[in-house]
């Protein structure tokens, strides 16, 4: 990997994810520190996603036209500013402000995925997207544990300033290491027949892909995945606080355990994709998520909790890269940035609905319903994946 064109993007994504994972387990406790109710915690998560819903397809389309590197640098600068505001917060509204700033420029992952599509052939793409999974797994292994430790001992602002420092490091890495014009990988003709170039406008981009059966199916599967995952993440800290009396440090360690499982799975993802194919990987991952999330209401002891978290982490680790590969194979090369931007918009929508749903249920002490709801969304992904592609429709290359 030392000579791979993916090394710079892996390093930048890893540092970005590490900064992000310092924030995720911190936010519920940080917000409660300023008197937030569970539902207000849900709205705090959602505020970032509302802004990302606006910016996602715009940044994806812009990166197709002006280049990945300058767009990624602009996005990272917004993340850096947002983290600085979080670290300086002395009231709940400042937490909202920090998340809004970050959300309005939140294109890091979308642009990184588009870059990977630029430099890899379709048959190697699942393995390449697995690098993002490794970055996420590594980030979730280290970031939440570090965040919990810092917050417990030095206060809630410490992880936010740590995330800002990591974000600044990511900017430096992108500027220094990422080629401005990556060498394009040779690949087959666009799947799905003739199609217009990537649309910059959100509505136009969504219409472009949802008018075609195969991209529509992939986007719906991705939406089911992100809705399930965001429902879990949006309420997990509050669930652990109420069911197991976890503080921010223990919540961070549990996230770290989940990240360890995810990181281990990513190491063998390329072999799994070649053996089973992305379709089967996605189905198996959805099923594992449905089981792991859906049974959380039955967990009253730590061993049971760890087993369920392990099952769910396995499912999430294999589902996202498989779905991302299937999506990029279903559109033309010049549409990939916009398609990934639309997928990010759907993810943002799920990150609005999921946390609000989760915190609404948890605020009413419906802990079993919280887990069942997250699991049900994953089960919808299984149902979508089992549908046959309409006769006469092209399949991914």
How do residues 117-148 score in pLDDT, each as one tens digit?
777 777 677 667 767 767 776 777 889 999 99
Predicted pLDDT at 391: 52
Predicted pLDDT at 99: 93
* Model confidence pTM above 0.95: no
- Weakest-pLDDT range from 21-25, 238-242, 357-361: 21-25
Asked whether 12 and 169 are in contact (CB, 8 A), the reply is: no
pLDDT digits (tens, 9 = 90+) for 279-314: 999 999 999 999 999 999 999 999 999 999 999 999
Tell me the pLDDT band of 181, cut-offs 50, 70 and 90. low
Q: Which fold has domain 6-177+198-386?
A: Growth Hormone; Chain: A; (1.20.1250)
Q: How far apart are CA 353 and CA 345, in angstroms?
A: 13
Helical (H) or strand (E) element with 27: helix 26-33
pLDDT digits (tens, 9 = 90+) for 9-31: 777 778 778 888 889 899 999 99
Residues of the chain with pLDDT > 90: what percent?
A: 47
Q: What does DSSP assign to residue 67?
A: -
Q: What does DSSP assign to residue 197?
A: P
User: Token pair for residue 68?
Assistant: 């990945």
Higher pLDDT, residue 273 or 191: 273
pLDDT digits (tens, 9 = 90+) for 32-74: 999 999 999 999 999 988 887 777 667 767 777 887 788 888 8
pLDDT of 196 higher than 50? no
- Weakest-pLDDT range from 78-82, 206-210, 216-220: 206-210
Predicted pLDDT at 1: 47
Predicted pLDDT at 93: 97
Name the one residue in this structure whose structure tokens are 């946390």.
355
Q: How far apart are CA 390 and CA 141, in angstroms?
A: 41
Q: How far apart are CA 143 and CA 253, in angstroms?
A: 9
Predicted pLDDT at 220: 95
Asked whether 17 and 136 are in contact (CB, 8 A), the reply is: yes
Tell me the pLDDT band of 4, cut-offs 50, 70 and 90. low
Predicted pLDDT at 393: 54
**Is the Cα dihedral 27, 30, 31, 37 positive or negative?**
positive
pLDDT digits (tens, 9 = 90+) for 106-120: 767 767 777 777 777
Q: Strand, coil or helix: what is 349?
A: helix
Q: How far apart are CA 310 and CA 308, in angstroms?
A: 5
Predicted pLDDT at 2: 44
């Amino acid at each position: 990997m030392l000579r791979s064109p993916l090394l710079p993007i892996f390093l930048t994504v890893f540092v970005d994810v590490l900064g992000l994972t310092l924030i995720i387990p911190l936010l519920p406790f940080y917000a409660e520190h300023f008197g937030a109710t569970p539902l207000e915690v849900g709205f705090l998560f959602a505020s970032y996603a509302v802004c990302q819903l606006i910016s996602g397809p715009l940044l994806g389309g812009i990166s197709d036209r002006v280049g990945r590197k300058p767009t990624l640098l602009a996005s990272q600068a917004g993340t850096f500013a947002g983290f600085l505001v979080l670290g300086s917060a002395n009231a709940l509204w400042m937490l909202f402000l920090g998340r809004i700033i970050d959300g309005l420029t939140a294109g890091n992952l979308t642009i990184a995925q588009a870059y990977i599509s630029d430099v890899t052939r379709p048959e190697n793409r699942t393995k390449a997207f697995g690098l993002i999974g490794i970055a996420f797994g590594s980030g979730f292994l280290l970031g939440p544990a570090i965040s919990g430790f810092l917050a417990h001992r030095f206060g809630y602002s410490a992880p936010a300033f740590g995330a800002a420092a990591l974000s600044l490091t990511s900017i430096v890495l992108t500027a220094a290491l990422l080629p401005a014009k990556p060498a394009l990988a040779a690949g087959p003709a666009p799947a799905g027949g003739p199609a217009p170039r990537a649309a910059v406008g959100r509505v136009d981009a969504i219409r472009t892909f949802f008018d075609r059966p195969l991209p529509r199916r992939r986007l719906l599967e991705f939406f089911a995945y992100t809705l399930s995952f965001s429902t879990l993440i949006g309420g997990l800290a509050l669930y652990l606080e109420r069911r197991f009396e976890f503080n921010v440090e223990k919540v961070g360690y549990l996230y770290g355990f989940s990240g360890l499982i995810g990181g281990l799975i990513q190491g063998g993802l390329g072999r799994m994709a070649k053996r089973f194919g992305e379709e089967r990987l996605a189905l198996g991952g959805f099923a594992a998520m449905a089981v792991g999330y859906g049974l959380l209401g039955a967990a009253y002891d730590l061993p049971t909790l760890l087993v369920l978290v392990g099952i769910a982490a396995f499912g999430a680790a294999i589902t996202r890269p498989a779905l991302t590969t299937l999506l990029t194979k279903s559109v033309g090369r010049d549409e990939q940035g916009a398609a990934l931007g639309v997928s990010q918009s759907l993810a943002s929508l799920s990150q609005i609905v999921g946390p609000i749903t989760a915190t609404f249920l948890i605020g009413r002490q419906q802990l079993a319903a919280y887990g069942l709801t997250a699991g049900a969304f994953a089960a919808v992904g299984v149902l979508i994946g089992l549908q046959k592609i309409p006769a006469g429709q092209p399949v991914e290359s």
